[in-house]
Structure 1
Amino acid sequence: MTAPPPLPDLPDPADGGGVVPTPAPRGPVRERSPLPDVLRGVALAGILIVNMQDFAGFNEWTQTGLDRAAQVLTDVLANGRFISIFAMLFGWGAAGLIARQGVGTFLLRHAVLLAIGAAHYILVWHGDIISLYALVGVFMLLTARMEARPLLVLAAALGAWWLNLTVQAGLSTLSEPGGRFSNLPELLATYPANVHLRAGEFGGMLVGSALYNGPWLLALFCLGAAAQRSGVLTRPHEHRPLLRRLAVGGLSVGLPLGALLAYLNTRPEYALGLLSIPVRMGGGLASALGYVGVLGLLAASGRLGGWRHFAASGRLAMSNYLAQSVVMTTVFYPYAGAQWGRWGALSALALALAVALLQLPVSRWWLARTGSGPMEWLVRALVYGLHTRERR
């Protein structure tokens, strides 16, 4: 199977990039916009920091001392923040793919992503988001003809509805006794046993998660699609007033909600565990928009500086995301070292930062030699290979 050709103007959203045409004496030269890649690379690092709670096998409300301090820092600055950026970028890329390549390519790509996500869930880790994004993202086809303003209205309506439902669910249980629930996986003694367990639960998990999280995810996808329509990520210099409002308004709301989340995650009560969900996602979105605003302003002024190091990791987004799962489950899961449940939040945070930072030079080295990540190449090869056959 030969490598497929690159997409015109906007690369495959699997790599998180974007290019804008630049006039030159000999014709248009496409220059890659750094902001989407940087945002995706930063988001990958932040997602790993939060996922360490699951990989290492500890519950937030059980942390004490320095571990509690590390957990508070994670909740205030990272929890719910970077997954929101990642989801918005998925919607941004999906909108660009529909506009440039059409429905057929879009559906083929989502079918490939669904298969990759299923394999990730069953063979590696129960926290896969690729399959969920692939399934829920299909509904983006309904927004293909919508402009930025209607997309923002739809995102606000979906987000407000979902947040209201989850807040009401938490408030309705305030008077009920019960301990905090845990989202940690059920781990068996051997790798084959875990694969069998996850294979049996994958379908139900995917449908249930899509039903519960679908409205919120679609709201984030629509925000990303609105950003694609407006060009705010590829032409940030044209949107400085908007980026300033995002930076100031987003962080003004998101940081206090992050502090509230940190408090809720120190409490063992069941109802407070439910209330932490809308606080995590609502505050996470606010801070995510604030982070986008800050990095957007830096990009608009040509001052990204050291943040540019995250661009290579962002271009290899899927490869790096899957590599994180492989590395961390190898380190922590009982069938590969018996470290699960023995680490606290501080040591897990330090390991996450080390791995995330190591991925930056490795990604840069890989791109310099191949030009594409292994999983990004596979997605393109499958999508465009299948599309070529269909046309024949």
Structure 2
Amino acid sequence: MQQPSRREALPDVLRALALVSVLVVNAVGYAVAPYGSPLGLRTPPDSTWAALTQGLVAAVLQGKGYTLLAFVFGMSLWLAARGRSRPDALRRGQVRNQRLLGLGVVHGVFIYFGDILTMYALVGRTLLARLHMPWSRLRRHFRRALVWAVLAKAGLLTLMFVWLPERTDIADGSSLSTVQGAWSFLKLNASNYLANQVVALVFLGPVLYLCMLAGVAAARLRLLTHPRWRAALRRFLRRFGLPVLALTAVYGCGVAWTAPTAVLNPWLEALGDVSAIPVAAVYVAALALASSGGQARWCHGLVPLGRRTLSLYVGHSALCLALFSGVGLAWLPTTAQTVLLSLGLWGLAWAVARRSGDRRWPLEAWMARR
């Protein structure tokens, strides 16, 4: 049997950078979660800086991280299976998938209802058996997955237009930051986690599956790492880069200009949702070119953190629980402070990861056990 190939740097680089989006968005939305806007309260409400910060988060980060991570998840599945026999790759993938699912359930029920690990495990499980599918069959399967993703996205947009006109970005009733008592927190958090997983499986699952499948295809073609594709990536950026970035800039400006107590605009929210995946695709293409497929010197500084994002993600959720929740300190920082806190935590994790050498962090060590 052929030995597994040397681990590529680019997926780790993408994973480390994508986690910035997840950490920041989870933190800014925590105070009004689970019923408020993902972008949270604008604090202070009359602050220009808070409005600009909220708009910048919306334009640059919101919705981009989890789709980019799904793409990298698919890449990693293929790269981990490459060089292994199909039965060995499937067995190894299933073991890791079961552990990820268990971790996601514990994280979602007890720490943070907006867990993404559960959905990645559920969706990724269906992909494991298709990793070695012949290319012609994989292309047909990709087209079918695209159709299902478009239908799911259309259903979600329809739901947004029915539901959002009655909501503001100020949470009415209980939120994670106001709930008192451990049992009340657990009921609120766990019930919303379970409800979110059901809804996400219908409306988000097909989209995540498409992103993962695209990651598998990209890894098999070496789309982001082989020099022969760089001209195509440049053409893609020249043709679509500016229009896509302009679209997300319009969304960010709309968020910044909207009054913090206004009813959520379904057209604005739909624009943010629809533009997220194209923006993530532009990010991926630009990073692949800027890093020369992961070979640039600056990539080596991000690789250690990219291999430890699981511990960072769960640790960040635990920190939000301790700082922002009603069973913790119930701290309500300004919007800018929340963003800086998450960026600071990411930077601290980056520094510690670089000093960790070959030592795995706890959750990565547990996932790697045989």
Normalising by the smaller structure, the TM-score range is 0.7 to 0.9
Q: Does 1:290 align with 2:282?
A: yes
1:69-218 to 2 correspondence within 5 Å? 69-97=52-80, 100=84, 101-141=88-128, 143-144=130-131, 145=133, 147=135, 149-150=139-140, 152-171=142-161, 178-180=166-168, 185-186=175-176, 187-218=178-209
Q: Does 1:59 align with 2:37?
A: no
How big is the shift at 1:360? 0.7
1:74 and 1:63 map into 2 onto residues whose CA distance is: 18
Deviations 1:4-44 (A, max 9, x none): xxx952xxxxxxxxxx5xxxxxxxxx3x4221111111111
Determine helix, strand or coil for the equivalent of 2:100.
helix
How big is the shift at 1:70? 0.6
Structure 2 counterpart of 1:77, which letter? V
- Tell whether the 8 Å contact from 2:11 to 2:76 is kept in structure 1 after alignment: no
TM-score (norm 1): 0.78
Deviations 1:320-372 (A, max 9, x none): 11121122222222222120xx2232111111211111111111112x151x2
How big is the shift at 1:60? 5.5
Alpha-carbon distance change, 68 to 271 in structure 1, aligned in 2, over 3 angstroms: closer
2:289 and 2:280 map into 1 onto residues whose CA distance is: 14
How big is the shift at 1:129? 0.5
2:216 and 2:282 map into 1 onto residues whose CA distance is: 18
2:46 and 2:215 map into 1 onto residues whose CA distance is: 35
Partner residue of 1:224 out of 193, 210, 215: 215
How big is the shift at 1:146? 5.0
- Tell whether the 8 Å contact from 2:241 to 2:282 is kept in structure 1 after alignment: yes
1:250 and 1:191 map into 2 onto residues whose CA distance is: 48
- Tell whether the 8 Å contact from 2:64 to 2:280 is kept in structure 1 after alignment: yes
Structure 2 counterpart of 1:355, which letter? L
Structure 2 counterpart of 1:189, which letter? Q
Q: Does 1:318 align with 2:310?
A: yes
1:37 and 1:69 map into 2 onto residues whose CA distance is: 30
2:127 and 2:329 map into 1 onto residues whose CA distance is: 42
Structure 2 counterpart of 1:216, which letter? V
Structure 2 counterpart of 1:134, which letter? A
Alpha-carbon distance change, 250 to 53 in structure 1, aligned in 2, over 3 angstroms: farther
Unaligned runs of 5+ in 2: 33-39
How big is the shift at 1:152? 4.6
Structure 1 counterpart of 2:25, which letter? V
- Tell whether the 8 Å contact from 2:155 to 2:203 is kept in structure 1 after alignment: no
Determine helix, strand or coil for the equivalent of 1:336.
coil
2:237 and 2:329 map into 1 onto residues whose CA distance is: 43
- Tell whether the 8 Å contact from 1:63 to 1:71 is kept in structure 2 after alignment: no
In structure 2, what is the equivalent of residue 335 of structure 1? 327
Q: State the identity as a percent.
A: 22
Aligned residues: 348
- Tell whether the 8 Å contact from 2:8 to 2:294 is kept in structure 1 after alignment: no
Alpha-carbon distance change, 132 to 33 in structure 1, aligned in 2, over 3 angstroms: same
Alpha-carbon distance change, 173 to 179 in structure 1, aligned in 2, over 3 angstroms: closer
- Aligned-residue CA RMSD in angstroms? 3.0
- Tell whether the 8 Å contact from 2:237 to 2:285 is kept in structure 1 after alignment: yes
Determine helix, strand or coil for the equivalent of 1:338.
coil
In structure 2, what is the equivalent of residue 378 of structure 1? 366
In structure 2, what is the equivalent of residue 17 of structure 1? none
Determine helix, strand or coil for the equivalent of 1:219.
helix
1:86 and 1:230 map into 2 onto residues whose CA distance is: 19
Structure 2 counterpart of 1:122, which letter? V
2:214 and 2:263 map into 1 onto residues whose CA distance is: 32
Partner residue of 2:231 out of 234, 238, 241: 241
Determine helix, strand or coil for the equivalent of 2:115.
coil
- Tell whether the 8 Å contact from 1:94 to 1:106 is kept in structure 2 after alignment: yes
1:141 and 1:38 map into 2 onto residues whose CA distance is: 23
- Tell whether the 8 Å contact from 1:254 to 1:284 is kept in structure 2 after alignment: no
In structure 2, what is the equivalent of residue 26 of structure 1? none
Deviates more, 1:277-286 or 1:120-129: 277-286
Alpha-carbon distance change, 379 to 75 in structure 1, aligned in 2, over 3 angstroms: same
How big is the shift at 1:279? 2.6
How big is the shift at 1:50? 1.8
Alpha-carbon distance change, 63 to 133 in structure 1, aligned in 2, over 3 angstroms: farther
2:305 and 2:239 map into 1 onto residues whose CA distance is: 28
Unaligned runs of 5+ in 1: 1-6, 10-19, 21-29, 385-392
Alpha-carbon distance change, 64 to 143 in structure 1, aligned in 2, over 3 angstroms: farther
1:277 and 1:35 map into 2 onto residues whose CA distance is: 31
1:189 and 1:50 map into 2 onto residues whose CA distance is: 24
1:200 and 1:85 map into 2 onto residues whose CA distance is: 27
